[in-house]
């Protein structure tokens, strides 16, 4: 049984029709957007860079990144374009800084139409909802962006001994090895990243719900 809401038929339509675009991505709107942008800036993101926000949802980060970046330097993908457009219409102070064509529906980490000039990418609170094969796919497919300097992503971790069992994270969320919300073990994640050509660094930054932030840097 899956409890991943994003894979439930009609989930996006029903929630968007009810005006719940913020709730769909987990709420904690301002705090989470600020944390994600601060992490990117700490990783070197400057206004002239080009950002790809993977699984961008209702632009919780986008509504802060778009004014920070030079116009046109923000790109986003998500399984639901309608969700990104809801954020575009409701949350951007100056929609003229973002062409909605840069909000691209993509549930397969294929990044169709995203230009090669991307320098930074982030997937915040996305992989906790997806099996590890999706993270591997993303790590592998992101290597096509030859100018990509950093890829930031969050996951839940569990200790090796608890990998196969439900594991209670520090703030109470229970994660699982084989269903959402998913956890990984640190060694397995490290191996996966290396096999796809990335060095990983773990951040000590405290994140909502006890997720862990990693910064991946491409191997030379
Ligand atoms: C918890 S929300 C986080 C959204 C955004 N990153 C943020 O922090 O506000 C998870 C997002 O992942 C998206 N998502 C789920 N499965 C996906 C997939 N296979 N490919 C791309 N996005 C996906 C959902 O539509 C949702 O917007």
Max intra-chain CA distance, the chain = 51
Q: Which of 7, 57, 130 to mutate to test the pocket of ligand 1 (most atoms within 8 A of CB)?
A: 57
CB atoms within 10 A of CB 166: 12
17 contact partners, CB below 8 Å, separation of at least 6: none
Pocket of ligand 1 (CB under 6 A): 6, 25-26, 32, 55-57, 60-61, 78-80, 83, 107, 124-126, 129-130
At 73, which CATH number? 3.40.50.150
Helix (H/G/I), strand (E/B), else coil: 94: coil
Q: Compute the distance between CA of residue 39 and CA of residue 45 in angstroms, rounded to an integer.
A: 9
End-to-end C-alpha distance for the chain, whole angstroms: 41
Domain interval for residue 91:
5-218
**pLDDT of res. 120:** 98
Output the pLDDT for position 178: 94
Q: Return the closest-CA partner of residue 65 out of 89, 80, 45, 42.
A: 45
Query: What does pTM read for this prediction?
Result: 0.96
Candidates 2, 5, 25: which one to mutate for ligand 1, based on the most atoms within 8 Å of Cβ?
25
- 55 CA from centroid of ligand 1 (Å): 4
Backbone angles phi, psi at 177, to 5 degrees: -80, -30
Per-residue pLDDT in tens (0 to 9) along the chain, 220 residues: 456 788 888 899 988 998 999 999 888 999 999 999 999 999 999 999 999 999 999 999 999 999 999 999 999 999 999 999 999 999 999 999 999 999 999 999 999 999 999 999 999 999 999 999 999 999 999 999 999 999 999 999 999 988 899 999 988 999 999 999 999 999 999 999 999 999 999 999 889 889 999 999 999 8
Nearest to 61 by CA among 29, 19, 14: 29
Note whether 208 and 181 are within 8 A (CB). Answer: no
Name the residue among 49, 66, 202 with its Cα closest to residue 121: 49
Determine the pLDDT at residue 3. Answer: 63
Distance CA(138)–CA(123), nearest Å, equals 10
Considering its fold, how many domains does the chain have in total? 1
């Amino acid at each position: 049984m899956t409890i991943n809401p994003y894979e439930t038929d009609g989930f996006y339509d029903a929630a968007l029709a009810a005006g719940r675009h913020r709730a769909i991505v987990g709420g904690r709107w301002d705090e989470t957007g600020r944390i994600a942008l601060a992490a990117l800036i700490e990783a070197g993101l400057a206004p002239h860079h080009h950002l790809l926000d993977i699984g961008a949802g209702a632009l919780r980060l986008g509504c802060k990144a778009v004014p920070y970046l030079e116009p046109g330097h923000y790109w986003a993908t998500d399984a639901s374009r309608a969700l990104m457009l809801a954020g575009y219409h409701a949350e951007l102070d100056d929609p003229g800084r973002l062409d909605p064509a840069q909000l691209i529906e993509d549930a397969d980490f294929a990044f169709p139409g995203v230009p090669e000039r991307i320098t930074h990418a982030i997937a915040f609170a996305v992989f906790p909802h997806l099996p590890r094969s999706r993270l591997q796919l993303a790590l592998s497919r992101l290597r096509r962006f030859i100018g990509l300097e950093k890829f930031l992503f969050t996951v839940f971790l569990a200790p090796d001994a608890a990998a196969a069992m439900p594991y209670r994270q520090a703030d109470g969320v229970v994660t699982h090895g084989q269903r959402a919300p998913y956890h990984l073990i640190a060694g397995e994640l490290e191996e996966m990243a290396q096999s796809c050509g990335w060095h990983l660094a773990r951040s000590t930054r405290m994140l909502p719900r006890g997720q862990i932030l990693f910064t991946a840097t491409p191997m030379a």
